[in-house]
Each structure stands twice: as structure tokens, then as C-alpha cells.
Structure 1
């Protein structure tokens, strides 16, 4: 379909989606549940022609810390990463303290809140990315339940109308997930992403330790949504007799931590499949005690959602020593391919590689090659001599070594600092293993793509993804006496050194952050544009550099892409056809989650809402605000 016709076709798309004709995975309420992984809002009130008239409609402060916004205070909770969920005039949001809040979607006024840590003497905090609603067709349901994880390792069920715990679910509306995961005192174990819903099952993973090889299991579990009883469990590190166990050394699988789903899963309700983006086994940067390919680490796994039985899998990284776990929720889309419509599942990666598979079979749509890569020089380590690379699309992030003439010249100070840093490292590219001397790796651990994922426009078949361009500096050093492994990541440049100057400006030439569109019908890149500005440079009149970013995009039937992830604390709108920026608005802090859009039941207006939390990896400004925009 020619991009020039996108405007008219997007208006038609909005009509067809609401009528239930187009793209069966798209919800009619934009997006009503986390199962709508495509992040397409079938609303076209806001268009390229009128988007410049958008105004703030309301702002809600969660109260997670005193003051509401400002520079990141000492001990501040992590920035918001919540993606709100809309249902029947109510917006459900979460905070880093695992608090669940229901808001009037048109006014932002609080209807209820549930604090799962009420009365706790010591409160925990973790990035929290949202809730799920049961049943999936909750717009018509007489009774609805909010399912959410907590930073202390519980899964809670709340009445969606009142916020009261569902007493029949576990113990007073909560399941303690820790005993079933072999969590020991001092182990990290949290549920930070929204669970998945399939029929009467709630399916969840967990956040587990990455800094040691042994610890809590990363297993994925399903529970009866009414009673909380466990229905099935999938061992992400296969036990003896299970498929994939042969990819581990004899004892290497035992109490292996990592290999978990810390991001969100995606359900294909028509096919009865749940897709698991399984992370890297621990320890992240040394695998001498886990020689082999280490299934199901770094894999996209399709399970029978009713039973937990494996249908298919594709490993995206063999024997990971880079912390290249899949960072985001798998995306479902129906794409035109060779005269037929192909239901696909898409997995974005920190490497900037985009994997596209047929949903039913796991076959690669554009092909995958096993390509030779450098091997490790670290004693005892045996990295894989090959890695799977998609033939298409092309990588969305740098995968080749930086050369001296490619260093930044954005300011004389930055150039001087970066030349000095570059002289201390050995430049490497994709899958260069961490070495015994400081090694510059591209992409780094922050991507490529990040946790907020991408969005798919069903009209143009464009996949829109934001990416980072920031290298990591890795060096393996002997571990302290008594450590569980002989080698750890460290060195004079730090355990998580990044290739940037003293102002956190990346050392290679811009752009440092991009918004990308891929035509899924061909696998070719349709456009790429810089995303965001850097405040310290913008103050000097230097723009167009792109910035490091975390929050993901949303696409609407009005032909627009909304995203607020850049560090300059702005929500932006782009033309889906060309990537041209057509609108921006200031936020209290950067939006580290993806926006949502819905129609208010009383006003009839289309709203765009984003969690503007900032803080964390790249941005010092922090807020506890949710901000809504609408046409006047």
C-alpha cells in the first residue's frame, strides 16, 4: 500500500477495526489489555492536521515521593515505567512501590488505590510496568479483576471496581510466588511486568538475580484466576528428560538462576499460544560453568497456553555473555507476504536485530543465518562460534566497531574526553566477547531496542521501534577469593562502563537515539529519524542529535506515532508515513513507558496518556506524574 494514501486509509482503518473486520489481534478499545501487543489505537480524531492543537487535559501525581517532580533526590524510587490500561472509563496505573491506582480516564481523579505494602516496616521499590485485566473481553464483563505483581514477589488480584482484594484468590487476594521458586534469604525476586491472561489463567514470570549463577528459578507459571491454584509450570532451564536439557553441562542446570521472563508475555488467543521472551542465564558475563547453548535462555518460546506444553522455540543468542536478553514484549501482527496474510510474532532485541516468526510454526519469515563470530579469550569460557542473524530486516543499531574518525565532535570537550577513552579500549562489534582488557561492545546492554518495545500499524504494515546507540565497555577480571566463579566483569572503567563522556554524551558521532520504521511486508527499513535532543546541547543551540531513550511508541489510526522516551522530557508525534515530527509537548520528566489512547465515554474525546516518570538509567529529572492530552 503506497504511503501517500495513508491518511485516507487510516480513516478507513479506524472504521474497520471498530467493526471487527481488520487485524484480529487489535482491541476495539485501544489498547484495553496488555495482550494487545501491537500498541495500535484504532482512533482517528487526532490527525496530522490537528495534532498541533493538542493541549494538556489533566495531570495526576501518584504521591510516590514528596514534591512530585524535580531532580532525582537521594534514595528516590525508580522512575515510572507503567503503561496504563483502559477499561470502561477507568484507567489502571501502577507505581514503583507496586501501588495499583484506578483513575477517572477523563479527569484523572483517583477512584481507588491499593497499596500491597500497607503496614510494611520496610518498603521495596522496583520499576513497575503495568497490570492485566480479566477477563480478556472485560469491556462487556459483569465482573472484572485486576492482576498485578509486586516488588516483594507476590501476585495480587483486585476487584476492578473497588480495588478490594479478591478473597478467593490465594490468601486474601494474593499468592506468594517465592516458595515455589526456591527463593532464599537475600535473593532478589520481584514481579515487575504485567502478567498475561488466557481464558481463566493468569501467567507470570519474575525478576531474579543476574549477579550470581545460582539462585531462584526463572520458571514461568500459570494460576487459576479465581482460586490462585497453580495450573502449570514451564521450566525455563530444562530438567533431566526435558527438551533442551542436553544444552547444559551435567550439573550446570541445577539451581541456575536467570533464564527468566522479566518482560511481558503475549497471548495469541485464536491459536491458544503464549509467547515467552526468556532472558539470559546468570551470571550474565561469564559462562564457564554453563558450557553449551543454554536453552531456553535468550529464546522466544511458544507454549500451549492451556497446558504449558512447548510448541516451538527459537534461540536468539547462544550462550549469552553480553546480557543480551530479549528486553520487550513479543508483538503480534498480521502482515501481507507473497499474496497472503501471515500471522507473525516479532521479537525485538538489545542487539538491534528484529526477529519475525510465523506464529503457528516458529519458522522465520525473512530467514536466519548462523554467522561466525569472535570467540572468547577468557580462560575457561567457551562462547558459541556462530550466532543467529536475521537476513532481514537490517540491524536497527550499530553492530560494527567504532573507528577514531567516527568519534563525536559535538563539542571540543566531548571530543577530547572521548579520544582519551577510546585510546584505552579495544573496539569490537556485535558478539565480540568481553575480553581481558577493556573491550568496547556495540550494541551495549541498553540496546538497540529497550523494554517498551515497538508498535505496528496494520494499515501500512509498518513496525515502529525506538533504539539507542550507546556502547558498553566490558573487561573480565579475576574474581575475589571465595567467589562462585573465577571471572567477573569489572576493571578500572567499572562493571557497567558506558562509552560516553563526563556529561553522558555518547562518544561516537550522533544520532544517539533513533525512531525506526520497518515495512513488514518486505522487511526493509522505511525510514529512520533522530529521536529527541540532549538538554545540555540544546541549551547551546545544538539539536538533531537524537538522545538516549527508554519509553516506546504507540501508533494511532490518525496516522500518528506518539512517543515520549527521549531524555529531553517531551511527548512527540510523528507522521507514520515519513517519520517527520509534527508535534511536541513538554512533560514533567521523560516518559519511560509507552503511551495509551482511548475515547472518553462522556466527553467523546480521544485522549493520549503517558507516565512521565524519568529517572533511572539516563535521566536525572524524576516525577510521579501521569499526563493526559486531548484536543480542545
Structure 2
């Protein structure tokens, strides 16, 4: 009797494990049946049966449990290897849990009660072999790098190639993209691959502009500061401008526009609160004779010197303000005592529904500005008009409205620009030598339904349009997404550079896009430098709409392959199974699958492979440095009569987007598992370099960790998305801060090696920059304020690094 009692107590552990395994098996069985009915893998059904029976045998105390479990583990390992090969992060949800249970079953406290003192070499040996095989697969996967490209650039320069961007002191950063060409390339060389590991914090400044409880969810610090005029200029989400000492970070002056919307309760209806940057104009840089004076420009304007150096800041309450860059005081001779009211001729809009989140373009005589329009609220939104004002007086010189593209004469008083015409919310690029201004275009609202779009809106959406600087007339236009139903705005600032090609050196424009193509055009004409092909695209739009039968794809692209069921991911077999069920339940025919009532997968999603951060180039080495991201989203159209029952819109990615005036609203969401993790397998973010002499990838490495986005702060190097841009230097080092973890990182441009990382006090979803201080030292500076929509830690930090002495 005592022996039986001891035996019963010994069976407790295997029985408890058996209950757990039985429940897990039943869950897989139920999910597996659902998946199979959707046309998915039969593995989960079969494995559910196998693991469930193994659990039942454990509860019954049968030694056959060991053999059956060994068989199911062995089969699972073979299946996993057939699906994903030696990819560690793909093997984890398929094998990790079952491997761990196999180890537990081999422990004497679990194994001996089943054997009842009798040898069972076959069952025990089979389980041992199955566990070893699964472990060997995991071990072998540590030596593979799926999705990565290892390479080496063996040149410091291409013979004859120089930096032809607009000249400025090497130690300055005078424009959002350093120059009006948007190259994000610094000729500084003090920081090199050999010494970058010595970077240490030099100073930290806090702006005091911290997101409040009443702010919109996407309150973001996406600012790239300027360094010019002996100062560093920072703008904050609430449109404040601050001048700092570049060596110490000490505040010199602060300008607060006291935006009127601060008095409106909780910014109701707002989607964004951000300032990506300010623009700088120096009268001395445009010294000219009277014969060079523009005929339309009053002589008094050129003689004005009340603000010889100006900063232009767009405010969240729809003003364009000129500030004296020396003092922070408003330039009284610009517009109405220093400001232009951008509400003129726009018509009605909800607070926050129209304003410029990005810095204007500044040329010799003009300051040119576009505007952000809130996505998917209605079909009666403000115009996407581009307006050019005299840089000195604030007088409207021309306006280009894509809804009325041929008439650029300043609009008459009392008239209204075309409602809901495509807008340009990102950053301009400018070539003053060619006399052209380059616009990365969005589309006509709503994003996911285009049945009512006009001919002009279709022509100018989702591409790049070149305007004549002096007149605003269209010089050329190229479209990169036809009849855009996926929010494929061209988000990044176009990059201008001279490119060496087989036909000689050409003035090129590089446009990075959400779908992953980098379109390389002759910026004089808009013609291809890198070939662009029309490729077949899925059809079957919702009633009342249509799709384009083809879409343009550049031969230079980082577009991902189409998703498959096996690409679905999870931490465990169960959330992976649910992701596979979700995948099979949604419509997906590859890139450009149209939105549907069923729900469609959008991949790449509306954050895109490349978004507003754009790309950076090294014009001397003739390379591009990139930070592609890969995240899938879903879009589900909601018939008008069903919208009210689903509750109000919360943000641009939460709740039903109403699309008032269209027959459908839409629900937009990232494709996530029940645990809130991406359903698609990692990596989700990379850094890469392209050789622009042959348009081939030199190297590509996954980038970033889940330290700041997982429940347990483990720095697992899975490769995470980044939102924000990069810059490169003549010293051979490139920098990026936009990853979901809080780091500024430095890379060797020749091979992509991670050389250094500096911890940030908040999310760094901005584009960093570099400059030389008054002390002759090279600094690297980043704004770390986080991003509301991405959930990164928010703050108000400006952090500068320099080499340790």
C-alpha cells in the first residue's frame, strides 16, 4: 500500500503535464480544423491530435506517451524545416514549446512513473533522438542569416565624382536634408569607423514641450534641427522654435507662436501634432545686381534688411511665420507683421485638418509651402494647393492647385482653391540651377476608395511633380502608383544628386516610396535613368471603384516578396496558428490587393518600406544608405449604413475612418497577433546600401532590437521597423535613430557593420544630423521625443554626441 501511494504521488507531475498537453492539443485541433476549412495547412489539426493523445496517455500513466510524443515532435521538426529552413525566429513558434516539453519528459521525475520500473529503451531513445534533432535544428539556425546580404564596398570614391549639392560650410546643416537637394550627406570626416566607438554624450537639452493628456495620439518629435548662423535651431511639436548654442546646448532664445488651437478642448478631431523642421534664408547668400532682380520683385523688397537672416516655421494653427534668425523676433515686414494666414482661400476645415507639418522650401526669392490634410475624414477636405510667397514681403506670387493645374496666377480674393485636390505634406527638393521645385505627392481623399476621383487628381497623385520655381507651372510629372487605393503617398523628400551611368553623368532624382521602389529619374525631364516597368496588379475593386491593371516598379527596389501562410509568425504555436487563420480569412493577392468588404492585407503597409525619412546618399562614393521596414496592415471597407454602429474614429489607425461623402468608411489596422505582435515573421527592419553605379545591393542587415517594445526588455536583435531618416558622412560612417528601440546607431557604410550605439532617453523617431561646433569638434545630434502612434517613449530631449577627448 505504501508503494502504491508513493507511485500515485510520483504520477502527479506527468498527470499535470498531461492535462496541459491535452488542453493545448485540443486548442490546436479546433484551430486546425478552422484553418483547414480556409484552405490552410493541415499540420495544426494533425499535431493537435498527436499532442492531445500524448496528453491523454500521460494522464493515464502509459509509457506509450513517450513514443507518441517523440513521433509528433520529430514530425513537427521535419515540417518546420520544410516550411522555413534554418531560420531561428521562424523555428521558435514552431518548435520551442514542444522542444521544452520533450526535455521535461526526459527528466526522471516525469519519465520514471510512466515506466513503472520497467525499461523502455525504444520509447525513451526515440524521444531523445527527437529532442536532439529539434535542438540541432535550433543550434544550426544560429549560424544562418536569412534575408541578409553580406558584402563589402571597396572604394572611397568613384573617380571624377564630387558633391555637387548647393555649397555651404562643411560644418553646417542649413536645410532639412542638409541641402535643398535632400542628400543628407555631410562632408565632415572627424568621425570615422576607427574612432566612432568613442562617441559620448556632449550635452542634453529639454525643450519643455511634452505631449499632454489632451494632445492627439500622434504627437511626435520628428524634427531635424538646423545648424547655421552659429546656432542650432530646433522646433517642437507645438510649433515653438528654440535657438541653442551648438557647443553647450544652452538656450539662446525661444519663440513661442502661442498657437490658438491650444485653447480648444483636447484638440478634438486632430490627427497629428508635429513639426519636422524650419527653413532658413540668408540674404547674403543671394547677393545680386539690379539686373538680376526679378521683374516681379519690388526694389524695396530686395533692399529690406530688417531680417537679413530668416527662419520660416509653419504652425499647427495654419500660419507661416518669418522669424529673425539672430534674435527670435518676428520679421515685421513679412506678411501681416511677420506672418501669413494659410487659411486664406482654403475654405472650411476642422481644427488640425489642414496645416503644414513639414518645413517649406526656400529659394532666392520665394518661400513655398504645401499642407497636410487629415486622411479619410471626408471627401470635402481643403485643397492640396502649393503656394509660393515672396520670401521678404510675404506676398503671394503663385499658387499651383492640382485640381486646377494650368492656372498659377494668384487666386482672387473670395475664391476658393479646389476642394480635396491631392496634397503635398512632405518635404520639397529644390534645384535652383535648373529652376525646378520637386513635389512628392499624396492623393485625393479618401485613400481606400477612388470611384469619384477627378481626372486631374488621378494624374498628379502618388508621384513626383516638377514645377518651375518662378511661375509654378508644371515642367513634368511622373506617377508611381496608379489609382492609389493603399495610401501610397510619396512620403520621403526626393534626393537630388549627379549620378554616374553607362551614358555618362546625369542629374538624377531619387524618389523612395512606400511600396519599396526607388524611382531614379533625370530631374531635367522626368525620364527614367533606372528602368521602370509596368507589372500586372490584382483587380476586383469594390462596387463603384476600379483598379489599374498594372503598376510601375523600378528595377531598383527593396519591395518584399508576397506574403504566404508560412510567413505568419507568433511567440507560440497558438498565436501563430491564429495569425494563419487571420491570413487565410482576409483577401490577399499580393501587393496592390484592393480594399474589400471582406478585409484585405496591405503589404507593404501604409507606413511603407520607406516613408517620410527618405534615404541618404554619398555622392562621392555613389551609394545610397537605406533603412527599409516591412510591416503588413489590413484595410476593411465598411458600408456607409454600418459605420455608426461601430463607434467613432479614434485616430488614423484606430476606429472607423468615416470618409464622409464616400459610400464606404474603412478600418485600418496593423496585422497583429492576439498578443499584439506582428503576424508576419521578423525581421521587420533593416539597414542596407545600394551601389548606384550598378543599382545592386551591396549589403543588407537586420537592424534594431525589441528591448523597448516587448513585455520583457530583452535586447533581442530581431530587426525592428524604423521611422525617420538617415545621414551619411565623408568619414565613411552613417547614422540612424528611428528604430523602435531607443538608440542612435552608427554604421560602416562599406559593409554595414554596427560600429556604435548610444542609448537615448526617449524614442528617436526623427532624422539625426551632424555639424561642427564653434570649438571645431564634430557633433552628432538627434531629437528624442518619441512617436505617439508607434508607442515609443515620449519626451522632449535634444541630445548631442561627440568624440571623447
TM-score by length of 1: 0.89
Rg bigger for which structure? 2
Report the Cα distance in structure 2 between the residues aligned to 1:467 and 1:210, rounded to whole angstroms. Answer: 23
- The offset of 1:486, in angstroms, is 4.8
1:405 paired residue among 560, 566, 570? 566
1:624 paired residue among 788, 796, 799? 796
Report the Cα distance in structure 2 between the residues aligned to 1:26 and 1:452, rounded to whole angstroms. Answer: 23
2:337 paired residue among 172, 175, 200? 172
Match of 1:554 in 2: 727
Match of 1:233 in 2: 399
CA contact (8 A) 1:474 1:489 kept: no
Report the Cα distance in structure 2 between the residues aligned to 1:365 and 1:183, rounded to whole angstroms. Answer: 42
Against the structure 1 CA distance between its residues 137 and 509, is the aligned structure 2 distance closer, same or farther, given a 3 Å change threshold? farther
1:497 matched to 2:663? The reply is no
Match of 2:309 in 1: 144
- The offset of 1:237, in angstroms, is 2.2
Unaligned regions of 5+ residues in structure 1, if any?
243-252
CA contact (8 A) 1:214 1:255 kept: no
Match of 2:482 in 1: 318
RMSD: 2.8
Match of 1:127 in 2: 274
Q: Which has the higher helix share?
A: 2
Report the Cα distance in structure 2 between the residues aligned to 1:571 and 1:414, rounded to whole angstroms. Answer: 32
- The offset of 1:607, in angstroms, is 0.3
- The offset of 1:205, in angstroms, is 0.2
Three-state SS of the structure 1 residue aligned to 2:510 is: strand
- The offset of 1:538, in angstroms, is 9.6
CA contact (8 A) 1:294 1:319 kept: yes
Report the Cα distance in structure 1 between the residues aligned to 2:197 and 2:283, rounded to whole angstroms. Answer: 35
Three-state SS of the structure 1 residue aligned to 2:796 is: strand
CA contact (8 A) 2:205 2:249 kept: yes
CA contact (8 A) 2:559 2:609 kept: yes
1:182-228 CA-to-partner distances (Å, cap 9, x unmatched) read: 23455711111010011110000011132211221101010001110
1:341 matched to 2:502? The reply is no
- The offset of 1:414, in angstroms, is 4.5
TM-score by length of 2: 0.70
Match of 1:432 in 2: 593
Against the structure 1 CA distance between its residues 578 and 437, is the aligned structure 2 distance closer, same or farther, given a 3 Å change threshold? same
1:109 matched to 2:250? The reply is yes
Report the Cα distance in structure 2 between the residues aligned to 1:593 and 1:139, rounded to whole angstroms. Answer: 30
1:95 matched to 2:236? The reply is yes
1:262 paired residue among 419, 425, 433? 425
Three-state SS of the structure 2 residue aligned to 1:568 is: coil
Report the Cα distance in structure 1 between the residues aligned to 2:215 and 2:527, rounded to whole angstroms. Answer: 49
Q: Which has the higher strand share?
A: 1
1:41 matched to 2:203? The reply is no
Against the structure 1 CA distance between its residues 209 and 316, is the aligned structure 2 distance closer, same or farther, given a 3 Å change threshold? same
Match of 2:46 in 1: none
Against the structure 1 CA distance between its residues 50 and 121, is the aligned structure 2 distance closer, same or farther, given a 3 Å change threshold? closer
1:324-344 CA-to-partner distances (Å, cap 9, x unmatched) read: 110111111111111621110
Match of 1:246 in 2: none
Report the Cα distance in structure 2 between the residues aligned to 1:502 and 1:150, rounded to whole angstroms. Answer: 39
1:419-461 CA-to-partner distances (Å, cap 9, x unmatched) read: 3432432333211111221211211101110111110011221
Figure out how many residues of one structure are paired with residues of the other and give that number: 601
- The offset of 1:367, in angstroms, is 1.5
Report the Cα distance in structure 2 between the residues aligned to 1:58 and 1:241, rounded to whole angstroms. Answer: 50
Q: Residues 467-506 of structure 1: matches in 2 within 5 Å?
A: 467-480=628-641, 484-490=660-666, 495-506=667-678
1:284 matched to 2:450? The reply is no
Against the structure 1 CA distance between its residues 49 and 439, is the aligned structure 2 distance closer, same or farther, given a 3 Å change threshold? same
Report the Cα distance in structure 2 between the residues aligned to 1:119 and 1:439, rounded to whole angstroms. Answer: 40
Against the structure 1 CA distance between its residues 84 and 239, is the aligned structure 2 distance closer, same or farther, given a 3 Å change threshold? closer
Unaligned regions of 5+ residues in structure 2, if any?
1-150, 288-304, 409-415, 644-658
CA contact (8 A) 1:209 1:216 kept: no
1:220-243 CA-to-partner distances (Å, cap 9, x unmatched) read: 01000111000111112236889x
Report the Cα distance in structure 1 between the residues aligned to 2:209 and 2:617, rounded to whole angstroms. Answer: 33
618-627 vs 320-329, greater mean Cα deviation? 618-627
Against the structure 1 CA distance between its residues 26 and 529, is the aligned structure 2 distance closer, same or farther, given a 3 Å change threshold? farther
2:553 paired residue among 368, 386, 389? 389
Match of 1:213 in 2: 379
Which structure has more relative contact order (CA 8 Å, sep 6+)? It is 1
CA contact (8 A) 2:238 2:259 kept: no
Against the structure 1 CA distance between its residues 562 and 217, is the aligned structure 2 distance closer, same or farther, given a 3 Å change threshold? same
Match of 2:318 in 1: 153
